[in-house]
Amino acid sequence: MFADMVGYTALMQEDEELARARRDRVREVLSSAVTRHYGEVLQHYGDGTLSVFASAVEAVECAVEIQLELQQAPEVPLRIGVHTGDIVRDGDGVFGDGVNIAARIEALSASGGILISEKVFDEIKNHPSVSSALIGDVQLKNVKYPVRVFAITNPGLEVPSEEDLRKRARESGSGWIPPPGEHGTPEAPGAAAPAGIGETLIQRIRDRAMVQWALVYLAGAWAVLQVVAFVAARLGLPRPVLQGLALVAFVGFFVAMVVTWFHGEKGRQRVQGREVLIIALILLMAGAALTMLPAGARREMAEALPGLPPPVITDGRPSVAILPFVNLSTEAENAYFALGLHDEVMTQLLRVSGLRVISRTSVMEYAGDRPNVRKIARELGVTYVTEATVQRIGGRLRVNVQLIDARTDDHVWAEGYDRELSDAFAVQSEIARMIADALSTTLTAEERGAISRAPTDNPEAYRFYLQGRDYYLRPGYRQEDFVAAQGLFERAIALDPDFALARAALARVHGLMYWENFDASPARLEAQRAEAEEALRLQPNLPQAHVAAGWVHYVEGDFEEALRDYEAALEGLPNDAEIVARVGYTHRRLGHWPQVFEAYEKAIQLNPRNATLFYDLGGHSFAANRRYAEAVAAYDRALALAPDLYDAALRKGLIFVHWRGQLDTLRAVVDHLPADLHLPEVDLARVDLALWERDPDGLLRLLDTTPEPVFETQLVYLPKAIYAGWAHQIGGDGAAARAAFESARVRLEPLLGPRPDDQRIRAALGYAYAGLGMQDAAAEMVDGMTRSRWQGGDALSRFQTAKVFAEILAQANLPDAANRNLEILLAGASPVSVRTLRLNPLLDPLRDQPGFQAILYRFGGGTGE
């Protein structure tokens, strides 16, 4: 990068002191900006400066920053040229073609502008933060071949006019050859006469490679339509689907040709109004053509194209979806019975290894008004669908069930049952056996025995169990539902102390109460362990008992033992998507990433409409492996299933922060959330975004409107005073920041005694101590967490704690310790990237530290990116 002051010699003659002051300002701005962009100032030439960078993008971004800074008072006019090439350094100075070309290009630049060579343009042309325009070819003085030159056109920068270019080219001994049709006739000896209209048109088509692009597009569209036709024939998609896709491909051809015409020539990056108008007219005509389709065909297309693609099935087993049983009982309180029978029939079929049974979570979407059977089967990726009605009349139970082949709408099997209520388990077992037999599935002796074996001989205990399952499975993870479920399971156990299935269910309720922090007491964890162990003692091969025991180990951090229990449970319930997902979650804690993604793929086949699977096991796992595009796709699928899953939208916004260093997507998500929505993850996202945007006033306003005094999630416990302290820090009000951190300290310290194992409190205190300048106390909090189970040996805890530790230690002005944690963060599984670190204001104390800059350079691929 060659930079040169404009008018320095004349200014020296008029006012030598002012000229030197401006030269010193240029050098100061240059030195600071070049260092920030990982460059080096090699040499000063009076009022000129030569700098080198490891990245063309960094050089151009640095040049833009310098020009914008020097436009502020006191303003200093500067020209800049950037080229990529070799240089030679020795005791006599710096020289070489790279230096010469950069200097010659700089001489053509406008005051306040930046010119770059074609080699630099090739490096930055797809970089969103830099825009450019073709200037033309230049025969530079003492340079053998012409060099194509571009101007950086970011807002605030000057682009040389045609007259200025001609003048400066003559003054510097260069010859400028403008682009054809843009700046007039080239200044070249013996220039040819202007081409005719036909020749010009043909030449432009050649320059833009329009014929090649048209052939590529047509070949690609043909291939896509052939694949779609093949798939449609097997899925039974109606003909209007193919007609619609053909129309899209036809319209897309003209749109592609318009884009190629305007952008196919190198350097043509700006969108022109006529281009937008032409594309708009094409799309308008396409829309008009679509409206000409018959109404019935449009409805058929809409039904045939659901919001989500069907799951990709990788095995040939018969597949069935057991739709929620319809309750026909007049008493509303009997609704639980239909739900309970449905759940237990599904559980019985999950034992059958020869079947693929869709999970409860996915089929519950069709509990109310449901579309036709064919559409349901397509959305769930199954061949067969089961429907049933349940009616409880006094002491009798009536069940009507039918198995339907969704491909033909034919009834494969149907049966009605009118039994005593005490025969409920026998009814559900017979339904499960009949479905398996109807699908020509051979049951093993173990499977047939497990389906037929009653979990209890006490019908009343079984009814309490079914009712408890209803509360346990209700959505929303509400404490009152878990309390009700606990009471019902305890009543079932009181009637039959040997009811192992009820004990396993009770253990899971205790586990949820502990895990969700409704009751995180040691007594609750011990109750979970006791019920799980008793269930295993009573029935050692009961899959549900192994799930309950596995969760105890998981909560305690013994993930190897948890995995053994979950895999034992999977042997008895090979189709249970929940257990498959638990295996995946446990592998994730152990850092076994291939097994995580294997479990994820299997789980979404068994549970294709479960937003949580896409969001958590999918999105979070892809993010932790920095597979950002796949994480975004998983979050999008979760949001397609559950549009109000706000945390998925927020996580998607965060992905773009880590991936591209952009806050725009997260800002768009936050701005679209209802203003009166106050969920912990939503409020945290709002204040974190304001913090990252370095908007202290906006952050303080958010704190005033957030109702809760503490931001609390499973991983975070941060009083609002901590964020107030950070806001005042950014705003430069040290006294107010100290007062806020002191307020947080006073609130947090009394909590540490009764909650010594709550590492969220220790983390918050670490932030408060660091903000107060209590370096030793902050380091002690970090050390205490390091020794605790929270630091752990699992892959998720390592990156979470490394991030928290680095921020606390950076704020406490302990750069070496902070940098060690940043290396852990970037080297291991984590969504965090170099771009995240560059944005994070809590790491500001590290900015000028050589160790921090080395980390950015090392993990940014040698560019700091």
Architecture of domain 319-454: 3-Layer(aba) Sandwich (3.40)
User: Of the ranges 19-23, 51-55, 176-180, 733-737, which one carries the lowest mean pLDDT score?
Assistant: 176-180
| Distance from the Cα of residue 49 to its chain's centroid | 43
Are 455 and 501 a contacting pair, CB within 8 Å? yes
Residue 841 pLDDT more than 70? yes
User: What percent of the chain has a predicted confidence (pLDDT) above 90?
Assistant: 36
Alpha helices (H) along 557-627 = 559-572, 577-590, 593-606, 611-612, 621-624
Using CA atoms, how far residue 296 sits from 221, 378, 746, in Å, is 26, 20, 69
Give mean pLDDT, residues 220-231. Answer: 72
Using CA atoms, how far residue 347 sits from 13, 362, 432, 477, in Å, is 93, 14, 9, 21
Encoding tokens for residue 412? 């494969």
Give mean pLDDT, residues 664-690. Answer: 91
Domain boundaries, the chain: 2-177, 210-304, 319-454, 457-521, 651-859
Using CA atoms, how far residue 74 sits from 29, 110, 779, in Å, is 12, 19, 44
| DSSP tag of 618 | I
Are 27 and 44 a contacting pair, CB within 8 Å? yes
The 3-class SS string of 239-303 reads HHHHHHHHHHHHHHHHHHHHHHHHHCCCCCCCCCHHHHHHHHHHHHHHHHHHHCCCHHHHHHHHH
pLDDT for the residue numbered 763: 93
Give mean pLDDT, residues 139-146. Answer: 77
pLDDT for the residue numbered 292: 58
Give mean pLDDT, residues 359-373. Answer: 80
Are 77 and 6 a contacting pair, CB within 8 Å? yes
Angle between helices 424-438 and 445-452 (to 10 degrees): 150
pLDDT for the residue numbered 564: 95
| Distance from the Cα of residue 332 to its chain's centroid | 42
pLDDT for the residue numbered 553: 92
Using DSSP, state whether 759 is helix, strand or coil: helix
How far is 263 from 282, CA to CA, in rounded Å? 18
Using DSSP, state whether 232 is helix, strand or coil: helix
Which region holds residue 557: left if phi is over 0, alpha if psi is between -120 and 50, else beta? left
How far is 668 from 649, CA to CA, in rounded Å? 10
pLDDT for the residue numbered 646: 87
Give mean pLDDT, residues 394-401. Answer: 84
pLDDT for the residue numbered 307: 47
pLDDT for the residue numbered 233: 52
Q: Which tops the pLDDT comparison, 304 or 752?
A: 752
485 residue type, one letter? A
Task: For residue 577, count CB atoms less than 10 angstroms from its CB and return exposed for 0-12, middle for 13-18, buried for 19 or more.
Answer: buried
Are 104 and 174 a contacting pair, CB within 8 Å? yes
User: What are the pLDDT digits (tens) for 621-645?
Assistant: 999 999 999 999 999 999 988 888 8
Encoding tokens for residue 582? 């638990």
Q: Which tops the pLDDT comparison, 190 or 397?
A: 397
User: What are the pLDDT digits (tens) for 417-450?
Assistant: 888 877 877 888 888 888 888 876 666 777 777 7
pLDDT for the residue numbered 832: 92
Using DSSP, state whether 139 is helix, strand or coil: strand
Q: Which tops the pLDDT comparison, 233 or 392?
A: 392
Q: Please report, in angstroms and rounded to a whole number, the separation of the first and last CA atoms in the chain.
A: 20
Residue 709 pLDDT more than 90? yes
Q: Which residues are 809's β-sheet partners?
A: none
pLDDT for the residue numbered 103: 86
**Residue 646 host element (H or E):** helix 646-660
In 3D space, the residue among 646, 654, 640, 624 whose CA is nearest the CA of residue 797 turns out to be 624
pLDDT band at 822 (very low <50, low <70, confident <90, very high): very high
Using DSSP, state whether 435 is helix, strand or coil: helix
Largest Cα–Cα distance of the chain, in whole Å?
111
Residue 308 pLDDT more than 60? no
How far is 634 from 608, CA to CA, in rounded Å? 12
pLDDT band at 128 (very low <50, low <70, confident <90, very high): confident
Give mean pLDDT, residues 462-478. Answer: 82
Q: What is the CA radius of gyration of the chain?
A: 34
Encoding tokens for residue 585? 């979650």
Encoding tokens for residue 522? 């040691």
Q: Which residues are 80's β-sheet partners?
A: 3, 114
Query: How many CB atoms are closer than 10 A to CB 17?
Result: 8
pLDDT band at 279 (very low <50, low <70, confident <90, very high): low
In 3D space, the residue among 298, 310, 309, 212 whose CA is nearest the CA of residue 247 turns out to be 298
Beta-carbon contacts of 819 under 8 Å, excluding residues fewer than 6 positions away, are 806, 846, 849, 851, 852, 855
pLDDT for the residue numbered 301: 39
How far is 568 from 516, CA to CA, in rounded Å? 25
pLDDT for the residue numbered 358: 86
pLDDT band at 526 (very low <50, low <70, confident <90, very high): very high
Residue 759 pLDDT more than 70? yes
pLDDT for the residue numbered 265: 55
How far is 814 from 812, CA to CA, in rounded Å? 6
Q: Which residues are 401's β-sheet partners?
A: 388, 415
How far is 130 from 123, CA to CA, in rounded Å? 11
pLDDT for the residue numbered 195: 43
- In terms of average pLDDT, the best of 40-44, 768-772, 783-787 is 768-772
- CATH number, span 651-859: 1.25.40
pLDDT for the residue numbered 207: 62
Give mean pLDDT, residues 392-405. Answer: 85
Are 207 and 269 a contacting pair, CB within 8 Å? no
Residue 231 pLDDT more than 70? no
Using CA atoms, how far residue 763 sits from 710, 738, 757, 770, in Å, is 14, 18, 11, 11
pLDDT for the residue numbered 537: 95
Encoding tokens for residue 62? 């640095």
Q: Which residue has the tokens 């000129």?
A: 48
How far is 393 from 413, CA to CA, in rounded Å? 25
Using DSSP, state whether 324 is helix, strand or coil: coil
How far is 35 from 27, CA to CA, in rounded Å? 12
Mean pLDDT of the chain: 83
Are 808 and 773 a contacting pair, CB within 8 Å? no
Give mean pLDDT, residues 578-595. Answer: 93
The domain made up of 2-177 is a member of CATH 3.30.70.1230: yes
Encoding tokens for residue 250? 């036809």
Encoding tokens for residue 670? 């936050």
Q: Which residue has the tokens 């825009």?
A: 131
Q: Which tops the pLDDT comparison, 380 or 268?
A: 380
CA torsion sign for 638, 642, 647, 653 is positive
CA torsion sign for 799, 802, 808, 813 is negative
Q: Which residues are 391's β-sheet partners?
A: 398
User: Of the ranges 589-603, 686-700, 773-787, 794-808, which one carries the lowest mean pLDDT score?
Assistant: 794-808
Give mean pLDDT, residues 750-768. Answer: 89
Using CA atoms, how far residue 108 sits from 10, 53, 133, 163, 862, in Å, is 19, 22, 15, 11, 31
Give mean pLDDT, residues 215-242. Answer: 66
